Amino acid sequence: MKILLLADIHANWAALSAIRESFDACLFLGDLVEYGTDPVPCIDWVRQHAHAAVRGNHDHATVQRVTTGPGSGCRRLAAATRQLHQQVLTPSHFKFLARLPVTQTLDLDGLRFFLVHATPRDPMDEYLGADVAGWTTRLANVEADFVCVGHTHIPLDLSLGKKRLINPGSVGQPRDGDPRAAYAVIENGKVEFRRQAYDLDAAIANLRASGLDAESLEIAIEMLKTGGRSTDASHSSR
């Protein structure tokens, strides 16, 4: 069985549509919206193709119509694109995002999967990277072969005793210095991390046509071009 792991699409349809991987099941790990400016086809794709999906902090913020000050860096971009999304998403899109669970456990191909956007302690907001001790503590009461997470936008593979933690990285806004869309495939228990180049010019053209203010537009373009390396990406804004 071939399982496709996707996370942090962030309304980047150019990136998502470039992934032409075949799969038997797709697991989505949160953050369909914000930062990018093309949320509708991204939501529609996940709604149609994902076998299971969980809610990310940006999905939650859009649905709850969270208002924040302009801020800087990622925080500014999230606030600006949130306003745009609320103008183009339909009630059906809002309902889909609102009904996403914060965690999900399921069995596939004889393996148990636990899905969460951030961590079990704080499913949508806690930022935890390659911290073996931290993850061991947080997963003490989780029974799973694979724990699949997103949120950091950086691929990660940790062995934690009988559990294996996988973060496939970000489809729509990588932050590891590689601008290509990131994802992972699990097939017959074997994990492969993959990258896919996409039409960056098309993604930037969509940003320019969206009506974003000049400062937010500059932030968004720089993040896409550099793979997040040169942008102030504070943990609280991920």
Q: Which domains does the chain show, CATH number per domain? A: 2-111+170-237 (3.60.21.10)
| Average pLDDT of the segment spanning 151-163 | 96
Residue 33 confidence (pLDDT) above 60: yes
pLDDT of residue 80: 94
Which pLDDT band holds residue 69 (cuts at 50, 70, 90)? low
Q: Give the alpha-carbon dihedral of 60, 14, 166, 107, to 10 degrees.
A: 70
Of the chain, the end-to-end C-alpha distance in Å amounts to 31
At 230, list the tokens: 């040169």
Q: Indicate the pairing of strand 156-160 with strand 25-28.
A: unpaired
Count Cβ neighbours within 10 Å for each residue of 83-120 and write b for 16 or more, e otherwise.
ebbeeebeeebbebbeebebebeeebeebebbbbbbbb
Give the mean pLDDT of the chain: 94
**Residue 45 identity (one-letter amino acid):** W
Residue 209 confidence (pLDDT) above 80: yes
